[in-house]
Amino acid sequence: METFPQKDTAPLHLKIYQELRAELESKQLAAQSRIPTERELSERFATTRITVAKALSRLTHEGFLERRPGAGTFVRDWQQEQAPVVEPVSPIEQVAVLSGYTRNRDTALLVSGIAEAFGDDGSGRFALYDSRDELEQEAECLRRIHAQVLQGKIRGLIALPAGQNENREAYAALAAAGCKLVFVDRYLTGIPADRVTSENEGGTAQAIAELVALGHTRIAFLCSYPLPNAVIRDRQAGYERALRDAGLTIRPDWIRRAEWARRTGDVLPACPLDDCEEIFREWLSDPEPPTAIFCSNDRALQSSLLTLRQRGVRDKSKIALAGFLNRSDWVEHVQEPFLGIRQWHEELGKQAALLMHERLTATDTPTPNRSISICVDFVYHPSAEAWRNP
């Protein structure tokens, strides 16, 4: 099964694409031949059909494959063309990056992607500010950046917002002062800015469809964030859309938000979410309880695993878990199966830097704000083989 690597940052669908393309270019897959089905390829690469479909879709778009309704997918006659040369992004010294807690692995990867796209050699081509994901610290960083903008020292800001509306005026003031804004990973609405996010709504909808395909018809949604968050709303929208598409009922009491647990001094809470136990007690006491729970982020997924373990709900036949997962340091200690949605923060950073570069070097009429979604990957926890194939 696909596991959660610590160092490999290439999306799984990209690896599959690269391997299949190499086979096509070396003519291991002959022209006009039928390629293996998505199911067969998902077994070969130990992943989901969703991930395989992403790779096949790209190969089809590039002209390597063609889909024949009712027959399958076939290799087209093609002549390999020289790949276009992609010019590296020039270093930008008038860009600020406002991230959240740079010691976090995901944030570090995001900043690394920005640096790589800008061609940063480690000498500090852009100014890095750390909000520590705290609103007061974010406000102070924005005040300092605004002062630099007014002095003409900063022309663009790539930001991972700490909240939703609390520092909206500070971001709006930057835009009004002529600072180009690119939101990355998270974003604020109503602010003139480009944004780069993961495929939050679509990824969630695909994960729900995967659960439905496995026979689950009672699926709950658990989110955790201390503030209103546009990304969580996008994921909830994907959850509701997938249920509607499957003809399933959306139950408001099965869409719950749990509060972050407070640490006592230097002591970390046993469970990342304070009221997860109460939420699960209500759900599992229902005459027809959920058979699957979708978790909107790491804290919700980890808390769900811990809560089910504490309640003695370990049998795969009782409840299934799926959700967004980035950190993988605790996964190896988990015995329960789950379907994880993995984001690619380094790619988020690269695309945000490319957008900023385009904004700062554009000489023609300003274009409308752009929104880019980065594909996610679906991976089963290695202990989930039996649960995945009931």
| Token pair listed for 211 | 């659960």
159 pLDDT higher than 50: yes
Residue 381 has pLDDT above 70, yes or no: no
Alpha carbons 295 and 321: distance in angstroms, whole number: 7
Give the mean pLDDT of 141-156. Answer: 93
What is the pLDDT, as a whole number, of residue 301?
84
> Smallest Cα–Cα separation from 340: which of 280, 276, 292, 294?
294
Task: Report the 10 Å Cβ neighbour count for 279.
Answer: 21
pLDDT of residue 207: 94
pLDDT on residue 87: 45
pLDDT value at residue 88? 45
CA distance 212 to 339: 13
pLDDT, average across residues 20-27: 82
Q: With contact defined as beta carbons under 8 Å apart, do 313 and 163 qualify?
A: no
pLDDT at 108: 84
Q: Which CATH code is given to the segment(s) 12-71?
A: 1.10.10.10
* Class at the top of the CATH hierarchy for domain 95-196+348-359: alpha beta
Pairing of strands 156-159, 95-99: parallel
Q: 24-38, 71-85, 237-251, 328-342 — which is least confidently predicted? A: 71-85
Topology agreement, domain 12-71 and domain 95-196+348-359: no
For residue 122, what pLDDT is reported?
41
Residue 293 clears pLDDT 70, i.e. is over it: yes
Whether residue 228 has pLDDT greater than 60: no
> Phi and psi at residue 223, in whole multiples of 5°?
-125, 160
3-state DSSP assignment of residue 50: helix
The pLDDT tens digits for 83-120 are 434 444 444 578 999 998 666 778 888 888 888 888 75
Q: For the segment 192-206, what is each residue's pLDDT rounded down to a tens digit? A: 999 999 999 999 999
Q: Which two tokens stand for residue 290?
A: 């959920």
The SS3 assignment for 228 reads: coil
Residue 137, pLDDT above cutoff 90: yes
| Contact of 94 with 156, CB cutoff 8 Å | yes
Task: Judge residue 206's burial from the number of C-beta atoms within 10 Å of its C-beta, 0-12 exposed, 13-18 middle, 19 or more buried.
Answer: buried
Sign of CA dihedral 211, 217, 222, 223: positive
Which helix (H) or strand (E) is 236 found in, with range?
helix 230-245
Instruction: State yes or no: pLDDT of 33 exceeds 80.
Output: yes
Collapse the DSSP code of 382 into the 3-class scheme (helix H, G, I; strand E, B; otherwise coil) and give the result.
helix
Between 358 and 275, residue with greater pLDDT = 358
Of the pLDDT bands very low, low, confident and very high (cuts 50, 70, 90), residue 264 is: very low
DSSP state letter for 47: S
Which pTM value belongs to this model? 0.73
Q: Tell me the three state secondary structure of residue 49.
A: helix
The whole-number average pLDDT for the span 260-282 is 63
Q: Residue ranges per domain, the chain?
A: 12-71, 95-196+348-359, 200-344+378-388
pLDDT at 179: 95
Q: Where is 359: in which H helix or E strand?
A: helix 345-361
Examine the pLDDT at 225 and tell me if it is beyond 80.
Answer: no
Residue 5 predicted with pLDDT over 50: no
Q: What is the pLDDT of residues 57-74, one digit of tens each?
A: 878 877 788 888 777 888
Residue whose entry in the numeric block shows the structure tokens 């988990």:
334
Tokens describing residue 324: 């967004």
CATH 1.10.600.10 fits 200-344+378-388, yes or no: no
Task: Return the closest-CA partner of residue 81 out of 127, 25, 38, 29.
Answer: 25
User: Which amino acid type is present at position 330?
Assistant: W
More confident call, 148 vs 122: 148
Q: Between the ranges 36-45, 232-241, 329-338, where is the mean pLDDT highest?
A: 232-241
Query: What is the DSSP annotation of 158-212?
Result: EE--SSSSTTHHHHHHHHHTT-EEEEESS--TTSS-EEEEE-HHHHHHHHHHHHH
Higher local confidence (pLDDT), 33 or 228: 33
68 token code pair:
């024949």
**Where do runs of H (alpha helix) occur along 75-120?**
105-117
Complete DSSP assignment for 255-323: EEEEPBPPPBTTBPPSSSBTTHHHHHHHHHTSSS--SEEEESSHHHHHHHHHHHHHTT---TTT-EEEE
Contacts of 328 (CB under 8 A, 6+ apart): 4, 5, 6
CA-CA distance, 131 to 160, in Å (whole number)?
Answer: 9
Query: Which of 112-116, 177-181, 225-229, 308-312 has maximum average pLDDT?
Result: 177-181
Instruction: State the number of CA atoms in the 13 A half-sphere of 14 facing the CB.
Output: 10
Say which residue, 99 or 334, is predicted with more confidence: 99
Helix 49-61 to helix 12-25 angle, to the nearest 10 degrees?
50
- Per 3-state DSSP, the chain is made up of helix, strand and coil in percentages (nearest 5) of 40, 15, 45
Inter-residue contact 220 to 292 (CB < 8 Å):
yes
The answer, yes or no, to whether residue 131 has pLDDT greater than 50, is yes
Range of lowest pLDDT (179-188, 306-315, 346-355): 306-315
Check residue 322 and give its pLDDT.
92
Total length of the chain: 390
Answer with the residue of higher pLDDT: 197 or 385. 197
- Percentage of the residues of the chain whose pLDDT score is greater than 70: 78
| Range in 52-66, 116-130, 254-268, 311-325 the model is least confident about | 254-268
